[in-house]
């Protein structure tokens, strides 16, 4: 397991100093990869609105705000940048459904075991994979995520990492996660010739993976820069794994 060298630049995305400087220079809201409108069918299918949600690496994203507007009642947001957290605490001081804390996702010992129904990660694991000691940082973060999720809860990971580079981290037996994979084109993607990408409904179909959790050898990505969504359901050790079910179409 290695650092995501091909997808990184010279910045250390696992360093608080980098993010503090970035948010000082650019305070405008920014959502990595996908906005809530694109992710809503997945979120509404796997995350009940009454869930206690942990948003890791929240930055100054609008996703948590959009989820509250969509009926979500309790979202704890954490980020390594004190600058981002102070901005968001001020911005959402009058929104009781949103809470913000400065925290390193590699050490979330402030929270007790089984504190959350869902952990949502939109690019945070990726940022650690571009930092120093990437494998160790990723393992520490995922260990904390697993500890904090209640049995039956979900780790909702949105990433640029395909199964070849993400499954080795996600499939550790200690986590006891049942993983389903979905693939969504980047925003605005069009097929060669100018036609739009496949329908939202087709994106809601889980991708059949091999016994090792990899994409089939003959699988071709419609968008080579697609984003991957890993739905990791934490199974009770005494409960047999259940089959996956199709996403609900009524949330489209």
Segment among 142-146, 211-215, 235-239 with least mean pLDDT = 235-239
Question: Which of 29 and 118 is assigned the larger pLDDT?
Answer: 118
> What's the pTM?
0.86
Q: Say how far apart CA 132 and CA 111 lie, in whole Å.
A: 25
Check whether 35 has a pLDDT greater than 70. Answer: yes
Each residue's pLDDT tens digit, 83-136: 999 999 999 999 999 999 999 999 999 999 999 999 999 999 999 998 888 999
CA-CA-CA-CA torsion sign (20, 15, 227, 6): positive
3-state secondary structure of 196: strand
**Beta partners for residue 227, in sequence order:** 184
Question: Which of 84 and 237 is assigned the larger pLDDT?
Answer: 84
Check whether 42 has a pLDDT greater than 90. Answer: yes
Question: Which of 60 and 15 is assigned the larger pLDDT?
Answer: 60
Percent of the chain surpassing pLDDT 90: 68
pLDDT attached to residue 11: 63
Mean pLDDT score, 14-28 = 77
Bridge-based pairing of strands 98-102 and 74-79 is parallel
How far CA 189 is from CA of 6, 36, 42, 224, 239, in Å, comes to: 22, 17, 19, 10, 41
Question: What mean pLDDT is reported for the chain?
Answer: 86
CA-CA-CA-CA torsion sign (97, 103, 105, 106): negative
Q: Which of 98, 107, 62, 57 is nearest to 78 (CA)?
A: 57
Each residue's pLDDT tens digit, 125-184: 999 998 888 999 999 999 999 999 999 999 999 999 999 999 999 999 999 999 999 999
pLDDT attached to residue 156: 97
Q: Which residue has the tokens 């820069």?
A: 225
Check whether 240 has a pLDDT greater than 80. Answer: no
pLDDT attached to residue 18: 78
pLDDT attached to residue 7: 52
Percent of the chain surpassing pLDDT 70: 83
How far CA 28 is from CA of 79, 82, 87, 123, 158, in Å, comes to: 16, 16, 10, 18, 22
pLDDT attached to residue 29: 78
Check whether 252 has a pLDDT greater than 50. Answer: no
Alpha helix stretches (DSSP H) within the chain: 16-25, 36-46, 63-69, 82-91, 124-129, 134-148, 163-170, 200-203
Domains of the chain as residue ranges with CATH: 32-187+223-238 (3.40.50.150)
Each residue's pLDDT tens digit, 180-204: 999 999 888 877 655 555 555 567 8
pLDDT band at 16 (very low <50, low <70, confident <90, very high): confident
pLDDT attached to residue 32: 81
Burial classification of residue 126, based on how many CB atoms lie within 10 Å of its CB (0-12 exposed, 13-18 middle, 19 or more buried): buried
pLDDT attached to residue 243: 41
């Amino acid at each position: 397991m290695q650092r995501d060298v091909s997808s990184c630049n010279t910045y250390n995305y696992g360093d608080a100093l980098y993010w503090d400087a970035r948010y000082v220079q650019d305070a405008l809201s920014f959502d990595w990869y996908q906005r809530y409108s694109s992710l809503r069918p997945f979120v509404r299918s796997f995350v009940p609105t009454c869930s206690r949600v942990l948003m890791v690496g929240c930055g100054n994203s609008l996703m948590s705000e959009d989820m509250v507007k969509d009926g979500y009642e309790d979202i704890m947001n954490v980020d390594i940048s004190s600058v981002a957290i102070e901005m968001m605490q001020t911005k959402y001081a009058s929104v009781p459904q949103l809470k913000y804390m400065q925290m390193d996702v590699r050490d979330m010992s402030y929270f007790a075991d089984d504190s959350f129904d869902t952990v949502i990660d939109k690019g945070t694991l990726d940022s650690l994979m571009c930092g120093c000691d990437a494998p160790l940082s990723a393992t520490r973060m995922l260990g904390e995520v697993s500890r904090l999720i209640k049995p039956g809860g979900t780790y909702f990971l949105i990433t640029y990492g395909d199964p070849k580079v993400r499954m080795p981290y996600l499939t550790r037996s200690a986590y006891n996660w049942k993983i389903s994979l979905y693939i969504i084109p980047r925003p605005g993607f069009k097929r060669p010739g100018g036609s739009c990408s496949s329908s939202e409904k087709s994106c809601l179909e889980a991708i059949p993976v091999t016994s090792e959790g990899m994409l089939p050898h003959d699988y071709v990505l419609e968008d080579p820069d697609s984003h991957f969504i890993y739905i990791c359901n934490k199974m009770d050790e005494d409960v047999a794994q259940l089959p996956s079910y199709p996403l609900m179409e009524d949330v489209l």
